Amino acid sequence: MTATETRKFEAEVAQVLHLVTHSLYSHKEIFLRELISNASDACDKLRFESIAKPVLLAGDAELHIDVSWDPEARTITVRDNGVGMSRDEIVANIGTIASSGTRRFLEAMSTEQKSDARLIGQFGVGFYSAFVVADRVTVLSRRAGSPASDGVKWESDGKGEYSLEQIELPERGTAVVLHLKADEDEFLKRWELRSLITRYSDHVAFPIRMPVEKDDKPSDEWETVNAASALWTKPKSEISDEDYQSFYKSLGHDFNDALAWTHNRVEGNQSFTTLLYIPSQPPFELMMGGRDERKGLKLYIKRVFIMDAAEELLPNYLRFVRGVVDADDLPLNVSREILQQNRQLERIKSACVKRVLDLIEKLAKDEPAKFETFYKAFGNTLKEGIVEDHANRERIAKLLRFASTKGEGNVQNVSLDDYIGRMQVGQDTIWYITADSHAAAVGSPQLEAFKAKGIEVLLMSDRIDEWMLGSLNEYAGKKLRNVAKGDLPLDEEGKKQQEEASKLAEPLLKKLKDLLGDRVADVKVSARLTDSPSCLALSDYEMAPHLARLLREAGHDMPANKPTLEINPQHALLKRVEAESDEGKAGDLANLLLEQAEIAAGAQLPDPAAFVQRMNRVLLG
């Protein structure tokens, strides 16, 4: 025995406790889901460690989770005979930040007006949900393989401090004892606890046991109250939609139903089972954690949990997928390093990608409402696959949807196949424009010639579009081109008209070049403009101004490219510049023509104050 030691929680853990205990009043019951989930993880870890060290299971080989209650003491206990924790592990897992997930949890919670219980569990902070219903929590734990004298008692009221004490603990594993608050009597009823287990934890792969009730009191007899089987190992004919949804919610810590799922068994030289889900909305760690830390796709080998192996089983652009993969013939001593280079795993990864894309294609074909929900949630994430997955680029491109000059406002519902089906006779190019908003795209002067000729243009205003299009040059044999880049293709008559217009405008072009000096690379007569006086023209490989501006704002060094200004010599403003003899006034007009073109293209004005002064001078005459 050692003396009791009192420690303070790390500041961020104290914040988590405060948010959890004050914000999740409408989802109190999740504490049981999270504690059972942690207990299941502990059993999984022990089962995996015991493959190499069978002695760890000595005397107690049947792994299980026990949920008991004591009406008189007003306690609920969740006990497992899993791997257990040492003193240092308890401090690391409960008293301090175990991962950056805790910080992201705080960021997400603080941005929500009504804090959302979906966050609990997704960031590794599920244990703290115990304090939603308990004013004191006691943890008793002993690491598998350690002597009984190495037991640890952890206790806290959740208000800033916790105590640690070394105790004698005859059994390995962990027991979490919740001393319930005065108004939480509902959780001291067996039927309530059992219904919660059925709702949230029925498909946990270890037996969850409860005492049999006799004379309205818990007895010494135990019964298993969950299905206690790996759902994915059952034949599909024996699994109901309700079973699939229940398993998804326990797997993904989600209160919402999954949007769709695919369950497959592959037999042959390499046998494995996949059960993959698409959520109905983005998981919070997808939005907060980005591409770096990915979980949610679990790897099992012969039903033994190995790891959250999303990185090895699915590419980044499918990081929203949840589910399990259970392989029969991967080596059980597998490690991350071996996983990353394992050929069998590459085949499983290819199969997972195919299944997910098949599922999304099925939604697009057969369930348009569900596909619309999917695309709103994950369309931009899917676009990353155009850059990252060359082998499936055509399949992914087929699933993308865009707004269009012939579409319904800013609704993204036009596919590339739709566009091709509406192409004009002789048209061999898919035309698009990128901008930093739909309004900027639809109002761009570069569209004028296309509108005049009735040519459809795709309107792309998501930040990822410009980056994605660097890798999407062609689809179904048709070139993709930005209406704002390069010279427009003209027929012989159009070329002749363009040459004549340029020749007639030579004095005006020279005047503008002289007035604008080194602010422009060139001034040309535009084939794009019919109504507006000016626009910017980019080279085929030049970055769009709105994207360059965003990258500069993010701290990236971007080369300062001089723009090419295209003009419409027939416009009244150009006529005015041509007739203006006062060099100062002509200079103001020329600079305003350039600056309005820059604004329309989403570029950042180099000197906004000078622009305002010029505008005022012109307005005052």
- Confirm if 162 and 137 have CB atoms less than 8 A apart: no
Mean pLDDT to the nearest integer, 563-582: 94
> What pLDDT is attached to residue 294?
59
**Which candidate, 552, 590, 597, 548, places its Cα nearest to that of 573?**
590
List all residues 6 or more positions away from 550 whose beta carbon is below 8 Å from its beta carbon.
436, 463
**pLDDT value, residue 544:** 74
pLDDT given for residue 606 in this prediction: 85
Identify whether the C-beta of residue 67 lies closer than 8 Å to the C-beta of residue 77.
Answer: yes
How remote is the C-alpha of 76 from its chain's centroid? 36
Length of the chain, in residues: 621
34 a known binding residue? yes
Q: What is the largest CA-CA distance in the chain?
A: 106
Q: Is 336 annotated as a binding residue?
A: yes
Secondary structure (3-state) at 314: coil
CA distance linking residue 124 with residue 311, whole number of Å: 18
Ramachandran bin of 218, using left for φ above 0, alpha for ψ from -120 to 50, beta for the remaining angles: beta
To which residue do tokens 């503008």 refer?
512
pLDDT tens by residue, 386-434 = 999 999 999 999 999 999 999 888 899 999 999 999 999 989 999 999 9
Q: Name the strand (E) or helix (H) holding 593.
A: helix 583-600
Binned at pLDDT 50, 70 and 90, residue 100 comes out as very low
**How many C-beta atoms surround the C-beta of residue 364 within 10 A?**
18
Please tell me the distance from the alpha carbon of residue 464 to that of residue 381, in angstroms, as a whole number: 9
What would the pLDDT profile of 481-528 be if each residue is shown by its tens digit?
999 988 888 888 889 999 999 999 999 999 999 999 999 999 999 999
Please give the angle made by the CA atoms of 162, 166 and 169, to the nearest 5 degrees: 115
Signed CA dihedral, 549, 551, 553, 557: sign only: negative
Q: Give yes or no for residue 214 having a pLDDT over 80.
A: yes
Half-sphere CA count of 294, side-chain side, radius 13 A: 19
Q: pLDDT confidence of 201, banded at 50, 70, 90?
A: confident
Task: Between 187 and 546, name the one with better pLDDT.
Answer: 187
Residue 337 has pLDDT above 90, yes or no: no
Confirm or deny that 174 is annotated as ligand binding. Answer: yes
pLDDT band at 126 (very low <50, low <70, confident <90, very high): confident
pLDDT-based confidence at 374, cuts 50/70/90? very high
The answer to whether 274 touches 231, Cβ cutoff 8 Å, is no
Q: What is the mean pLDDT of residues 82-100?
A: 76
Average pLDDT over residues 298-312: 74
CATH number of 488-620: 1.20.120.790
CATH class name, domain 13-224: alpha beta
The per-residue pLDDT for 336 is 45
Residue 166 marked as a ligand binder? no
pLDDT tier, 371 (very low <50, low <70, confident <90, very high otherwise): very high
Q: Which helix (H) or strand (E) holds 14?
A: helix 11-23
Establish whether 284 is an annotated binding residue. no
Q: What is the pLDDT of residue 295?
A: 65
Amino acid found at 399: L
CA 590 to chain centre: 46
Annotated ligand binding at 127? The verdict is: yes
* pLDDT for res 344: 80
Q: How far apart are CA 493 and CA 529, in angstroms?
A: 17
Q: How confident is the model at residue 293 (pLDDT cuts 50, 70, 90)?
A: low
Can you read off the two tokens belonging to residue 279? 């959520």
If you ran DSSP here, which 8-state letter would residue 124 be given?
S
- Residue 431 pairs in a beta bridge with 481
Q: 292 a known binding residue? A: no
CB 174 within 8 A of CB 10: no
**Domain range summary for the chain, segments of one domain joined by +:** 13-224, 231-395, 401-483, 488-620
Is pLDDT of 113 > 50? no
Is 520 annotated to bind ligand? no
pLDDT, tens digit (0-9, with 9 covering 90-100), for 156-191: 988 888 999 999 999 999 999 999 999 899 999 999
In terms of Cα–Cα distance, which of 178, 151, 21 is closest to 90?
151
Least confident of 55-69, 507-521, 543-557, 567-581: 543-557
Of 231, 268, 263, 264, the closest CA to residue 246 belongs to: 231
Number of H helices, E strands in the chain: 22, 22
Read off the amino acid at residue 542: E
Residue 587, annotated as binding a ligand: no
Angle among Cα 331, 334, 337 to the nearest 5 degrees reads 135
The answer to whether 322 is annotated as binding is: no
30 compared with 445, residue with greater pLDDT = 445
Instruction: Work out the angle between the directed axes of helices 368-388 and 343-366 (0-180°, nearest 10).
Output: 140
Host H or E run for residue 176: strand 173-180
Residue 202: pLDDT above 50?
A: yes
Nearest to 236, CA basis, from 271, 273, 278? 273
For 351-397, the DSSP string reads HHHHHHHHHHHHHHHH-HHHHHHHHHHHHHHHHHHHHH-GGGHHHHH
How far out from the chain centre does Cα 393 lie?
20
Residue 105's pLDDT band (cuts 50, 70, 90):
very low
User: What's the pLDDT score for residue 391?
Assistant: 95
Top pLDDT among 461 and 29 is at 461
Query: Which of these ranges, 196-205, 210-219, 301-310, 570-579, has the smallest mean pLDDT?
Result: 301-310
- DSSP codes of every residue in 229-265: S-GGGS-GGG--HHHHHHHHHHHHT-SSPEEEEEEEE
pLDDT at 139 over 60: yes
What is the mean predicted confidence (pLDDT) over 606-617? 93
What pLDDT sits at residue 542?
A: 75
Pairing of strands 208-214, 65-70: parallel
Provide, rounded to the nearest whole percent, the portion of the chain with pLDDT above 90.
Answer: 59
Q: Which class is domain 231-395?
A: alpha beta
Whether 426 has a binding-site annotation, put simply, is: no
Give the C-alpha separation, 158 to 559, whole Å. Answer: 53
DSSP string for residues in 74-93: TEEEEEE-SS---HHHHIII
Whole-number pLDDT of residue 2: 65
Q: Is 38 assigned a ligand-binding role in the annotation? A: yes
Please provide the CATH number assigned to the domain covering 401-483: 3.40.50.11260
Q: What is the pLDDT of residue 429?
A: 95
d(CA 468, CA 163): 53
Q: Are 496 and 527 in contact (CB under 8 A)?
A: no
Does 125 belong to an annotated binding site? yes
- How do 134-142 and 75-80 pair as beta strands? unpaired
Per-residue pLDDT, averaged over 355-373, amounts to 97
pLDDT at 284: 59
Q: Exposed/middle/buried for 41, CB within 10 Å: 0-12, 13-18, 19+? A: middle
User: What's the average model confidence in pLDDT over 75-98?
Assistant: 85
